[in-house]
Structure 1
Amino acid sequence: MKPLLLFRWGGHIAARATLFLTVVLCCLCDVNLTQAGTFDLPNAREARRMNAKIQASQFLSKATFGPDEASIEALADRILQIGNMRAFGEWIDQQFELPVSSQEQVARDIIATDGREPDMANVGIQDYRYQAWWHIALTGEDQLRQRVAYALSQIFVIGDSGAGFNNNAGRDIGGGEQSIPDWLGMSNYYDMLAAGASGSYRDLLGQVTYHPCMGVWLSSVRNLKSNVALGRYPDENYAREIMQLFSVGLYELHQDGRPRLNANGELIPTYDNDQIKELARVFTGMKYYHNGSNSFYTGLNLGDPMMVDQSQHDNNYNYAEDPNVPGQVDPNERHSKIVFGVTLDPLPVPMTNEDAKAEIDQALDVVANHPNVAPFICIRLIQRLVKSNPSRGYVRRVTRVFNNNGQGQRGDLKAVVKAILTDPELFAGQRTRRLSNPPRVEVITRGTEYSRMKEPILRITGMIRALRPSSDYPNGYMMLSRSIESDLGQMPYRSPTVFNYYLPDYQPPGALTTYVPSRRNPFGALYAPEFQILTAVTANRTLNRMYYSARNRYMQYGMRVGTCRITFDLDEEIEMAKDLANMEPILQRFDLLLCHGSLSEETKTIIKDAIAAETLNQNTRNVGRLEEALLAVLISPDCVIEE
């Protein structure tokens, strides 16, 4: 059961944040099968179609930034024609064939629309990268690719607090070329993730490693080789995080996600401090790309992959002390670097830039082929796309595809995404059944390990895309500003640390006394990452944002030039709301679009009773009813907790 607590504030339905927080926590811990909602239909044919539409909505809620009526109808048509899994697979293939929307290009286009230039100073030009992100998320055709890019951006994390990330200007990089304005570097990085969403994990890991924004964020750019005599050693930041966060994680895993244990029942670390030091030596000698300068200290360039300079790449001569000259390195002592037990090829003497780069690439090969990579990355992608607590079977099936896509290729991300989104467990938390006498579709939800809380950003994008939005901004740009971060507790490009907005193994404080993890759970615990940013403050502000959006039927934010109002077209529902008898079909529409079938009959009854009890001015009654119904659905735990 997912109870809905409603309070009267100024004649409208609203929710008190702290109680809302408690209710949502309770909902996640519900372990019983629950009948979510019933869709009454005029005949068996319509019941069959509604069943397909619910399945389509549920799938699209995971694969896009939110379903709209057109996408639900189109996918439901294919489900009825060829079956759900074949329809989903076909949709995925079609999505990956679409042209890639470019954050960098859209930002430039919006700037041009505003009559500005990308390198203008003193106008907060960097805000255009947020505007571009929202426009693509809300309107982009390549929804799946962009949704996967967003998931990848929460694994290969960078944030806009890096040095120089908000500078408005670029600079000369030789050969008559200019680097992109520094503030566009993060958009360029995001575009790299979007393009890599259908490529190989190994290729993407290399692109991340060489991207200058990552070089700045984790201090691998201009990372100097060691000098024992001076007491200088390579920076270990990127070496540590590429292992901990981007590839193998902290502890060894079985292929179904369970942690491996030693003979004493203890977790087995994947690496130690010596391995960090060894890998740190690999990531030396990387510098900003420049066409005409051999200096290791060329100027900032956040748009081109970093170069490798052999003069500052660790040449394996820098660690052994000369026994005859204390404090000096032994010129005759050299050894190859070792990564996860693999001895890298010896570096030639003399060493070229190409030799140094080859060693980095070989080390990346070793990292990417570690057996932990498949379960570690697959779990992270499942968490960001589908659910917080995937079962052992779910992880094993997806991991198997990561290890071999059926054609002998490892790390095929397109195949992995397809495996995630066509796995039976995607629908395990919510199933439908068609009944007759009378014709209807019932939705059954399972909760607990089958559910998760929607990210605030996905609640906003899902709301806007569902409500037939239109924009008054020139050229139809549909944008929100970065100021919404204070309401939601998260914002693309704004991760506060390399650990993302929340930890993948975060657990809300307090014991779950009624919950015992099932054997299907590989973690032996219930994780709820998104709850880490659900505080009394963010809950209250998010509810207020929903309140104003539902009451006004639009969202409006100030842009760098003017304002952008995104208006919701609810005229049809407003007309229907004139008759209280139509509240049921109105709620069913909102359920399909916003809750994907999980709005319970109990919640619907509470909403209908509350609206019937309202005393509103006769001239605004239908509008007020509609606004209250929309708000109540948006803030209901049924809608916030995703099955």
Structure 2
Amino acid sequence: MIRRTAALTLALCATGCAPEEAPPGENPVDGLQQVEQAESLAEPSEANAIRFLEQATFGPRLANGVSPQPIDSVEHVVDVGITKAITEQLSAPRYTYDGTTTSKDLGSQFFYNAIMGKDQLRQRVAFALSQILVVSQNGIGDIQATPESEPKVALAGYLNLLSTNAFGNYRTLLEGITRDPAMGNYLDMVNNRAFDTAGKAIEPNENYAREMLQLFTLGLYKLNEDGTQKLDANGVPLPAYTEAQVQAFSRALSGWTFAGATGCPTKGRSNPANYTQPMVGCDVNHDSGSQTLLRGAVTTAGAGAAVHLKEALDNVFADPNLPPFICKQLIQHLVTSNPSPAYVSRVVAVFKNNGSGVRGDLGAVVRKILEDTEARGPQPPLSLYANFGRLRPPALFITSTIRWLNGTLEQTADKNPGGKLNSWSKSLGQDVPRPSSVFSYYPPNALAPGGNGLLGPEFSILDTATATARANFVHDLLFSSTAATNGILLDYGSLPADPSDLVYWLGRYWLHDAMSSNLQLAVYNAIIDPRAGSTRRQKLALYLTSLSPEYQIQR
């Protein structure tokens, strides 16, 4: 580590006497660098590479001389560039979930994959999709007469479905979740019959049809391609669909049940639960009538469940509302809670056409999100800085902190490090994979408190209790024996011992050259006590930096 004592001391002295307010007409961002324009994707700076890894992984990590360099390390991204780094991640070996009785809890497996997985981008996108296409493990009943845990089997299969299709086509994914038994159970798509046991026609359950339209495809209101709402002449938002269309979709999607060894049941009956295979369409329990869907399209009269499912999903997939609705949420989960309309519009254009005439290519969409000018560069564009970024959600706050310390998880029969991480995450308000409702861990359109209309979904689970829990997590991780006892191994060897070097290191890496002078001064003054040994000094500096607003808000 190159010593920066003199330079840092001068910076601290200067900022200690100078006001933090910027002169009139200047942006009030202070840091070690200010960059307006995006850099070359082929030759990113270190700070840009770090920022990219914050968006594309569960936290940056340093190679620290390891050869070959891990593809998710800062040094590797600097060497190969952003574009190639994305290409490598798109083809990285996939880490999966195991629903058998002998495996760890799925929350434990999630944190193991997030910390140790080589397919960081796939895991990160799958996690984003799981918060848009929501199924909660708490919503699946456990059949006591069977040896396996149905919630575990069901959610393992569902999470594997999301990761398999994370870079595939959204139309394929949409059909996959519609036929998935975990989703079928959670939102009443399974055993949604158009006839009762006496053979009398009944109205199918509307739950899946409604949530599919509201949460998985269109949203409540019609959108422009830049994600802004369309308004009528009186300034009122236009609804994206009607109640009659919800009912039409529920009929078109009726007749599906669990896969069974004997095929379809008789009219009004259902197959027993089976969470290992996609649901099957049974025409005997399907409403075969013609239904009027979106934009005046009608389904084929007299057709079966499979034909009508295809027609219904093709219809909603082609709707102009779907690209901006889904793309904006993906940007929010990966980059910033308040993307500019221009950013959304550029990503939507790729969703509509990946360059080869294909609609819904998620791999191309994710690449565009990460390569866009608003995402790239050491810092967000200064003209957007005040509105840019997102509060790190609990899971990402935990994983980022551990990965920066080159953390590894010792997965043995008597240790469950992922389980401990998930217990911390639960105390912070995010119990994976158990969101409290179909709106996930927090509503996607929640406002940031005091934000003058800015969105801040993650703030919905930040209160005095969870804010305190964040501090408690970092304290336990760094200062108690909890981490080591549970098999969470941290490496402090690369941290400088000198206070000035340590503050510089944290500003350079943890905050990619955006550490404010106030934070530099606060951390430096806290760790210069000569009675503190180097290890305790390092941990105190980590503790203070990790709890600062500058680290809590990912920009």
Q: Is the TM-score greater than 0.5?
A: yes
Residue 293 of structure 1: how far off its partner (Å)? 4.2
Counterpart position of 1:449 = 387
Residue 595 of structure 1: how far off its partner (Å)? 2.6
Picking from 21, 32, 35, the partner of 1:37 is: 32
User: Aligned equivalents of 1:211 and 1:502: distance in 2?
Assistant: 23
Q: How does 1:19-418 map to 2 (within 5 A)?
A: 32-37=27-32, 52-70=45-63, 71-78=73-80, 87-104=81-98, 117-118=101-102, 128-164=105-141, 169=146, 182-225=151-194, 232-295=202-265, 296-316=269-289, 336-348=290-302, 355-418=304-367
User: Aligned equivalents of 1:445 and 1:131: distance in 2?
Assistant: 41
What is the CA deviation profile of residues 306-332 of structure 1, one whole-angstrom value per residue up to 9, with x for unaligned ones? 00111110122xxxxxxxxxxxxxxxx
> Which one has a larger percent strand, Structure 1 or Structure 2?
1
Q: What is the TM-score of this pair, normalised by structure 1? A: 0.74
Residue 447 of structure 1: how far off its partner (Å)? 3.7
User: Aligned equivalents of 2:61 and 2:43: distance in 1?
Assistant: 15
State the AA in 1 paired with 2:307. Answer: A
User: Aligned equivalents of 1:168 and 1:490: distance in 2?
Assistant: 30
Aligned partner of residue 375 in structure 2, secondary structure: helix
User: Aligned equivalents of 1:494 and 1:445: distance in 2?
Assistant: 38
Which sections of structure 1, spanning at least 5 residues, go unmatched? 1-30, 40-48, 79-86, 109-116, 119-124, 172-179, 317-335, 433-443, 516-524, 557-562
Residue 606 of structure 1: how far off its partner (Å)? 1.2
Residue 552 of structure 1: how far off its partner (Å)? 3.6
2:405 matched to 1:489? Answer: no
Residue 385 of structure 1: how far off its partner (Å)? 0.5
Number of aligned residue pairs: 508
Aligned partner of residue 275 in structure 1, secondary structure: helix
Counterpart position of 2:9 = none
Which sections of structure 2, spanning at least 5 residues, go unmatched? 1-25, 35-41, 64-72
Greater radius of gyration (CA) = 1
State the AA in 1 paired with 2:478. Answer: A
User: Aligned equivalents of 1:381 and 1:152: distance in 2?
Assistant: 8
After superposition, the Cα gap between the structure-2 partners of 1:470 and 1:248, relative to the gap in structure 1 and judged at 3 Å, is closer
2:524 matched to 1:547? Answer: no
After superposition, the Cα gap between the structure-2 partners of 1:480 and 1:466, relative to the gap in structure 1 and judged at 3 Å, is farther
Aligned partner of residue 216 in structure 2, secondary structure: coil
Picking from 395, 408, 430, the partner of 2:379 is: 430
User: Aligned equivalents of 2:310 and 2:436: distance in 1?
Assistant: 29
State the AA in 1 paired with 2:79. Answer: D
User: Aligned equivalents of 2:141 and 2:244: distance in 1?
Assistant: 32
Aligned partner of residue 37 in structure 1, secondary structure: coil
Picking from 596, 599, 605, the partner of 2:521 is: 605
Tell me, yes or no, if the aligned pair for 1:591 and 1:599 is still in contact at 8 Å. yes
What is the CA deviation profile of residues 39-85 of structure 1, one whole-angstrom value per residue up to 9, with x for unaligned ones? 9xxxxxxxxx997211111000000000100200111122xxxxxxx
After superposition, the Cα gap between the structure-2 partners of 1:376 and 1:235, relative to the gap in structure 1 and judged at 3 Å, is same
2:469 matched to 1:469? Answer: no
Tell me, yes or no, if the aligned pair for 1:402 and 1:416 is still in contact at 8 Å. yes
User: Aligned equivalents of 2:144 and 2:152: distance in 1?
Assistant: 5
Residue 429 of structure 1: how far off its partner (Å)? 8.3
Residue 347 of structure 1: how far off its partner (Å)? 3.4
Identity %: 32
Tell me, yes or no, if the aligned pair for 1:404 and 1:410 is still in contact at 8 Å. yes
2:508 matched to 1:589? Answer: no
Residue 498 of structure 1: how far off its partner (Å)? 0.3
User: Aligned equivalents of 1:403 and 1:446: distance in 2?
Assistant: 26
Aligned partner of residue 30 in structure 2, secondary structure: strand
Tell me, yes or no, if the aligned pair for 1:379 and 1:395 is still in contact at 8 Å. yes
Residue 478 of structure 1: how far off its partner (Å)? 5.0
What is the CA deviation profile of residues 331-351 of structure 1, one whole-angstrom value per residue up to 9, with x for unaligned ones? xxxxx1011034334333xx6
